[in-house]
A and B are shown apart, each in its own frame.
Chain A
Amino acid sequence: MAELSVRHLLGIKDLTREDIELIFETADHFKEVINRPIKKVPSLRDITVANIFFENSTRTRLSFELAEKRLSADVVNFSAGQSSVKKGETLLDTVNNILSMKVDMVVMRHSSVGAPHFLSRHIKANIVNAGDGTHEHPTQALLDSFSIRERLGQVEGKKVCIFGDILHSRVALSNIFALQKQGAEVMVCGPATLLPKYIGELGVKVETDVRKALQWCDVANVLRIQLERQGGDIAYFPSLREYSQEFGIDKALLDSLDKEIVVMHPGPINRGVELASDVADSEQAIILDQVQNGVAVRMAVLYLLAQKG
């Protein structure tokens, strides 16, 4: 089939393996487009996309906006900081107001789990989830898998370990779904306090020893330690320094393995905390490829959803 099985991209959980493959195949073509001297195609010429961000974001929003513009869509941006949300307007009212101005697609980030799902039951526009609370961040997982496929040829059969704060991470959950659907093996590794208690139920391996995890995997996807989530009432680990000593990945550690693994990071990196600079800037790291692929993958998602109308 040349079309997706869904009208909205709410989470990887709703996608089929064929959907993921179609997105990647389409993203291959868009990657060629964005590397041309003129990086634009007119596909979404008559479509208006609203980027609605109730939570801060720099790169995801920039990446979506570039993807939309490279497809020639009209783009409106909205962030909660400057909006009537502060004045007490409900989510549905806010979005309905925006849609009354004839918007065809909504890209939304929200701090509440399920906010885009709720919206999809009430409005007509196609919705792309750009992150809902600690639940899913589907386009990030897609671009991660796309980058693995690009570097290693395929995702199927590969061993991927996700490091860091799994408890608060929507990137981790979406990645687990995406990788499993494509036939990869998944492990999570981090301090026990940052691993959800029943994460093993998803069929992933659980490890608390970084060296063992690195030795096992082909790809290390290192997540950011979300400093804003630490230091509240609950302390998940004693100090950043201790975290980096126990769980930080540096070049010496990677060189001590008997194989060369691929290192990924969704950004922004806390240099010297979860990832040392000598790894982040090495040939093994495909962090900047991920960023470039992000635009191509988001173009594919927007294009294929727009096609569904």
Chain B
Amino acid sequence: MQQQVILGKELLQVTLRRLCQEILENHGDFSNSVLIGLQPRGIYLAKRIQQILKEDLGKDIPLGELDITFHRDDFRRRGTPLRANATNVPFLVEGKKVVLVDDVLFTGRSVRAALDAMTAFGRPEKVELLALIDRCYTRELPIEADYVGKEINSMISQKVNVQWEGVDGGEEDKVWLVLSENG
């Protein structure tokens, strides 16, 4: 398996800090803002963001976990069925500014499903999207991120992996591109 590291541990930390500074610019003291991480992988990134914001603001920012399995547009159309994950949004988004958080922005379909899923929790004042990795030129829907960790050029057949320390046996924070499965 041929791999290419996109963000190593140190650089990833710098990127996360920069993303948090950008969010703070727009959301101030977060008095009317919430974070929502997308299941299954976006929640780990959202927790990191929450952690860093806590250091800066001295308080916990409300964080929800949103599962989009039941809102996907490829039900009965995809080969391998997906297992649903837990949704845990312990607040209403009515009138709130929401930052959706996902690790990789690819076709944009997950984000579309997330916007749909979120309507069950009210009408937000504003929704923004944060993506750690933005895979350029692979979008299938007109969706763009407001905060981007790093843009990369990749082929549809390639895969971006994000690993977090302590999650599923991951040893350190790292993002890499799988160039080909057998090469």
Most A Cβ at <10 Å: residue of B67, B76, B85, B87: B76
Cβ–Cβ contact B86 & A307, under 8 A: no
Cβ–Cβ contact B86 & A41, under 8 A: no
Q: How large is the interface on B (under 10, 10 to 19, 20 to 34, 35 or more residues)?
A: 20 to 34
Chain A positions 10-24 with a Cβ under 8 Å from a chain B Cβ: 22
Cβ–Cβ contact A32 & B86, under 8 A: yes
Interface of A is mostly: loop
What is the distance, in angstroms, from B52's C-beta to the closest C-beta of chain A? 28
Interface of B is mostly: loop
Cα distance, A132 to B116, chains bound together (Å): 39
What is the distance, in angstroms, from B114's C-beta to the closest C-beta of chain A? 13
Cβ–Cβ contact B87 & A29, under 8 A: yes
Cβ–Cβ contact A42 & B76, under 8 A: no
Cα distance, A112 to B30, chains bound together (Å): 62
A232: CB under 8 A from chain B?
Answer: no
What is the distance, in angstroms, from A295's C-beta to the closest C-beta of chain B? 15
Cβ–Cβ contact A40 & B120, under 8 A: yes
B119: CB under 8 A from chain A?
Answer: yes
What is the distance, in angstroms, from B61's C-beta to the closest C-beta of chain A? 22
Q: 26 A-B contacts, Cβ less than 8 Å apart?
A: A2-B83, A25-B84, A26-B84, A29-B67, A29-B70, A32-B86, A36-B120, A36-B121, A37-B120, A37-B121, A37-B122, A38-B119, A38-B120, A38-B121, A41-B70, A41-B71, A41-B117, A41-B120, A43-B70, A43-B71, A43-B75, A44-B75, A71-B70, A303-B70, A306-B75, A306-B76
Q: B-contacting residues of A (Cβ < 8 Å)?
A: 2-3, 22, 25-26, 28-29, 32-33, 36-38, 40-44, 71, 303, 306-307, 309
8 shortest interchain CB distances as A-B pairs: A2-B83, A41-B70, A38-B120, A43-B70, A3-B81, A29-B84, A2-B81, A307-B81
Given contacts A42-B70, A306-B75, A306-B76, 5 further A-B contacts (CB under 8 A): A2-B82, A29-B86, A29-B87, A41-B70, A42-B71
